[in-house]
Amino acid sequence: MINWLDNRTGIRHLLSAVLFEKIPGGSRWRYVWGSTLTFTFFVQVVTGIILWMAYSPSVQTAWESVFYIQYEMSSGWLLRGVHHYTAQAMTILLVLHLMQVIIDGAYRAPREINFWFGIALLNLVLALSLTGYLLPWDQKGYWATKVTTSLMAATPIIGPGLEKLVVGGAEYGHHTLTRFFAFHAGVLPAAVVALIAGHIYLFRRHGITPKQPLRKPDAMFWPDQVLKDAVACLAVFATILLFVLKGKLYGDGHLGAPAEPTEPYAAARPEWYFLFLFQFLKYFPGEREIYGTLVIPGAVMGLICLMPFIGRWRVGHFFNIFVMVLLLGGIGVLTYLAVNEDRKNPEYVQAAAAANRAAERVKTLAQAPTGIPVEGAVALLRNDPLTQGPKLFAIHCASCHRYAGRDGLGTVPGDEPSAADLKGFASREWLTKLISIDHITSDAFFGKTAFSEGKMAKFVERKVAQFDGTEKEQLRKAIIALSAEARLPQQADMDQAESSLIEEGKNHLLNDIGCADCHEFHFEDEDATGPDLTGYGSKEWLTAMIGNPTHERFYGDKNDRMPAFATEGILNSSQISLLADWLRNDWYEPEALAATAEWCTPKWEQPQIRETKPSAPYTLVSCRICCWAAPRRKFNPRMSNGRLRSRHSKRKTRRIPFSQAACSSSGVPASACGNPFRPTFPKPKSSTEASAVPRSLTASTLQTGSSFPTHRSPSSCMPATTTLPRVRTPRQS
């Protein structure tokens, strides 16, 4: 067979020419850099092709497909990690190879063209890194690439046109991504292959330039040098795998938040091997920028290309070595200065921390049961109260209010607050401090508002301060009842466990404490002068309050400076909803799926039974099992035209089969299940039918298999961010 193949291809002669080349002075470790570079490029090609199979280059699917590769595809994190770190290893290996060539004098005649090929390969590898940085379409890649390409506009005459050609138009978008992908996966690799072929051909034509003097006898390329090359390649690959495993261990997927062109990003920085240029440009501001982007880098590159001619003489050779050492030393110093300045820059540190939080947050949202919406992952953060709430608060509320003494984003404003601190609003702790003589007129509550001299403050100072032990206990229960109106997620368990205490507190609030003298609470009162306390702190109450505090339901003409954000068009309904959810700590968290019952607590649609709580087996057993058993939503942009598809997770915590048995195993019939993936039950056809339904359910009713009452909506087993339509009470009707 071998003879047949050799007769038709001449493979023996080819292998003999490749392997049995004489190496002057024998094999040496300093000759391994070229082989390691060829090996790393081969690794890049293989991993790149596999990643290409799952990558989708568009602004709506690029980040999503990278997320799928990193967190969903089998061994995708390994492939992407190897591809990522091998790209950085190639840059280091190219510099080492370049230094070895210059020190050994392998750039001098007749090897000038081969040396220039190597310089071209170095620039192509850097171009590959630059184009690949944008492909995940995350914030850091988007903004870093935008800064880099904007430097093209500084080129005289052709600059603006060149930038427009690369970007694909006046603005960054789909064409920018597809052009960078075409360069990264097609044009540049083809150019690298061509230059490598020419580089190897010229290398074999002129042979190895040995380090003089020769210390060993000549040897063949096989097996001595091949063994050293193989060991070096394995060492490089082992180092790459070490970094990949370290990133996996510490959860570093090298994937930021999805690119958001309208969102400022102060943490934009290039990769570490471009930081020296980023720092260098700081010394050439304004009109002098062209010297830092073109003139000086061009002169340095020209000097490197002239080294084969300068190095003809012994002095010139040492001059070339000195230039390279000086150049690499300067690059190292500039890189250190860039890192050190960022470390000492509080604005950058804060921006980088915010970017990391956004990156982790979007990954959490993408792994939620609802998964990534078809609009793209950027919609996850746009609709996330935890992400948007602090920003809205800092812009529109922090001029008067504070959130834990800060502006919501962690910064302490320079001016003094003039309204209440809203951290923990409507919680038991917050209300306890509010109705306290030590706090109600402090700066954290009414101290700098017109209400510091109002009826509420006087009521606390004159009456509450004189409460005896019995009245203080009644006040405590009333506070618990009022806080329960908000249905705060963090208090869901306590509210459910203390339902009887809440009912008792409502009676105290209406009849004993005196709150009903000024406020409405589940009944109409034409003489009420204070805000309505029905549903106080709830999503509906807070949204309406932010939208129009001058409404008669709230402060009316007694409103103290607070804008009507909805009525005046300052915020839209979506923004107000996000702000209200954030103030209520009402956002998705993965541990809330199992740790709290609020995620699955049914929302009551009829006002006359809205205070009724379901029995323990339903709330704590059945719903929790259903939520744990619900299939996770997966998003694969390469499948089903980008639509969502669902499949069961392989995690141990979700191996419960999604079936009727999941509910019936806890003694609860499937018809009583409130899982959002099951068919929901019809709403009551009339108020008469609803009023005829019993006000409560017992565990025995559920366990006997009776049908679920029609007055309850099982469709409420949804995440906390789901907004149900408001139901008007008979009093409001």
Find the helix or strand (DSSP H, E) in which 12 lies.
helix 11-19
Q: How far apart are CA 254 and CA 71, in angstroms?
A: 12
User: What per-residue confidence (pLDDT) applies to 157?
Assistant: 82
Distance separating alpha carbons of residues 155 and 253, to the nearest angstrom: 36
Would you call 646 helix, strand, or coil by DSSP?
Answer: strand
CA–CA separation, 84 and 136 (whole Å): 12
Supply the pLDDT for residue 585: 94
Q: Please report which confidence band the pLDDT of residue 523 belongs to, taking 50, 70 and 90 as the band edges.
A: confident
Amino acid identity, residue 440? I
Query: Does 665 score more than 70 pLDDT?
Result: no
Dihedral over Cα of 117, 121, 123, 124: its sign: positive
The CA-atom distances, in angstroms, between 12 and each of 35, 230, 593 are: 22, 22, 66
Nearest CA-CA partner of 678 in 727, 609, 629 = 629
- Looking at residue 354, its amino acid is A
CA end-to-end span of the chain, whole Å? 93
Residue 256 has pLDDT above 60, yes or no: yes
| Paired tokens of 604 | 């009551």
pLDDT tens by residue, 697-719: 333 333 333 333 333 333 333 33
Q: To which H or E segment does residue 92 belong? A: helix 76-104
pLDDT in tens, 220-248: 888 888 999 999 999 999 999 999 999 99
Tell me the two tokens of residue 123: 């620039």
Q: What is the mean pLDDT of residues 633-655?
A: 36
DSSP state of 602: P
β-strand partners of 604? 712
Q: How many CB atoms lie within 10 A of CB 486?
A: 24
Q: 557: buried, middle or exposed (CB in 10 Å: 19+, 13-18, 0-12)? A: exposed
Task: Return the pLDDT at 135.
Answer: 96
Q: Does the CA dihedral 319-322-324-330 come out positive or negative?
A: negative
Q: What is the pLDDT of residue 159?
A: 84
pLDDT class for 118, splitting at 50, 70, 90?
Answer: very high
Q: Which long-range contacts (CB under 8 A, 24 or more apart) does 241-245 make?
A: 241/82, 243/81, 243/85, 244/77, 244/78, 244/81, 244/82, 244/84, 244/85
Per-residue pLDDT tens digits for 299-311? 999 999 999 999 9
Q: Which residue has the higher pLDDT, 612 or 534?
A: 534
Rg (CA), the chain: 34
Per residue in 408-431, pLDDT (tens digit) is: 988 899 889 999 999 999 999 999
Q: How many whole angstroms separate alpha carbon 337 and alpha carbon 343?
A: 10
Predicted pLDDT of residue 725: 36
577 vs 7, which has greater pLDDT? 577
The pLDDT value given to residue 22: 79
Using CA atoms, how far apart are residues 712 and 606, in angstroms rounded to an integer?
A: 8
CB atoms within 10 A of CB 255: 21
Half-sphere exposure of 406 (CA within 13 A, CB side): 8
Distance CA 243, CA 154 (A): 37
- Selection from 362, 90, 411, 145 nearest residue 271 by Cα: 145
Whether residue 384 is predicted with pLDDT greater than 70 in this model: the reply is yes
Residue 203 near residue 143, CB atoms below 8 Å: no
Highest mean pLDDT among 30-34, 304-308, 600-604, 677-681: 304-308
Q: What is the pLDDT of residue 630?
A: 33
Looking at residue 206, its pLDDT comes to 83
Whether the per-residue pLDDT at 682 is higher than 50: the answer is: no
Query: What's the pTM?
Result: 0.75
